[in-house]
Amino acid sequence: MTSIQKPPVRHPSLQINALGLTKRDYEGAMSTLCAGCGHDSVTAAMVQAFFELDIPPHRAAKMSGIGCSSKTTAYFMRQSHGFNSVHGRMPSVASGANAANRDLIYIGVSGDGDSLSIGLGQLCHAIRRNVDMLYVLENNGVYGLTKGQFSASADVGSKSKRGESNVQRPIDPVLLALSLGATFVARGFSGDKTRLVPMLKAGLRHKGFALIDVISPCVSFNDHEGSTKSYRFTRENYHELAPVDFVPLQREITAETEQGASVSVTMHDGSILRFREVASEYDPTDRDAAYAHVRARQDRGEIVTGLLYIDERSADMHETAHTVERPLVDVPFEALCPGKAELEKLMDEYR
């Protein structure tokens, strides 16, 4: 994220990654969001995560719908392919793109308005298909871009800027995803970049649909007294359940030596996820327990964060569809068209 235009020169002391790129190479256009918008912090975490994972920008596809949150894809990784689709319907575009080219790294950014109302169906079905992508839901409880209406994630009793109280029950993306069978479910806070970055990295490496609900306050319309999605409220009620370390395959650290109070999950590509200081009763691979835990804490008014659930064994969309391993866009026409002779034979069946 850049809020001010910076000169294109590279400072010699800038750290470079395995591709020889600096963090600056992972930045995007200048943000046009309000100063202080939570989304900009997510963008910054995104820059960090992609940089640290050594992802070649042009191999990533940034998908989004419509909303302030959906705009953020323009603000990181300038040199990757971006796609602002229509309001709420990014998951289908991402599914189609993934169907055509499974080798790209898909990252979807959406808002609570985009995902939980107009796009609720598409979100559910992307989860159901287990499309291999990271889906970041920047959750601020309001429609930012249309200026402050309550969204479907607004809590009962949360106050709007004009002082109205929300009366409808919220849809919680985390509980929704858990109940739909999502294979990676996490919640983060835009104000806590340190913990968000490993979460994003793990989500990017997860084989399947990784949902990260990021509480991302809207400073213009939902950061006041009485709001339950303000910075202050979130900080005060924020409970890190299972801090996570992402240990990429390439830089393997022997997780075993630090076992102790941690739980390790091996990802499909061999990278390791380590949950530190996990509450002793918590098992991030037990869906029912995860659901019960999040619910119980929620009833106490706490916002549970961290990587809440992970399942590395479920088949993703291509596995279910039994598609060839190479991207369909790379399959030569000769392998696709059965040719003249076959058509002749086939025609005999329609005699």
* Count of other CB atoms within 10 angstroms of residue 75: 27
Q: Which of residues 206-235 bind ligand TPP (CB under 6 A)?
A: 218
Residue 114: contacted member of another protein, ligand TPP, ligand SF4, none (CB under 5 to 8 Å, by partner type): ligand TPP
Task: Count the residues of the shown chain that bind ligand TPP, applying the rule CB under 6 A.
Answer: 18
Q: Which is nearer to ligand TPP, 68 or 186 (CB)?
A: 68
x/- binding map, residues 121-160, to another protein, per CB under 8 A?
Answer: xx-xx---x-------------------------------
Q: Which is nearer to ligand SF4, 37 or 317 (CB)?
A: 37
- Separation of alpha carbons 127 and 94, rounded Å: 12
* Count of other CB atoms within 10 angstroms of residue 146: 14
Among 57, 108, 144, 188, binds ligand TPP (CB under 6 A): 144
Question: Taking the complex as a whole, how short is the minimal distance between the CB of residue 231 and ligand SF4, in angstroms?
Answer: 11
State the maximum Cα–Cα separation within the chain, in Å, rounded to a whole number. 76
Q: Minimal CB distance to ligand TPP: which residue?
A: 111
Burial of 252 (0-12, 13-18, 19+ CB in 10 A): exposed
Closest of 109, 145, 118, 110 to residue 221, by C-alpha: 145
- Separation of alpha carbons 289 and 247, rounded Å: 25
Q: Are the beta carbons of 266 and 272 closer than 8 angstroms? A: yes
Question: Taking the complex as a whole, how short is the minimal distance between the CB of residue 102 and another protein, in angstroms?
Answer: 9
Among 44, 73, 87, 183, binds ligand TPP (CB under 6 A): 87
What contacts 157, CB < 8 A, 6 or more positions away?
A: 165, 166, 228
Among 22, 84, 237, 298, binds another protein (CB under 8 A): 84
Structural tokens at position 339: 């040719």
Question: Taking the complex as a whole, how short is the minimal distance between the CB of residue 37 and ligand SF4, in angstroms?
Answer: 3
Question: Taking the complex as a whole, how short is the minimal distance between the CB of residue 15 and ligand SF4, in angstroms?
Answer: 29
The site for ligand TPP (CB under 6 A) is made up of 66-69, 87, 111-114, 138, 140, 142-146, 151, 218
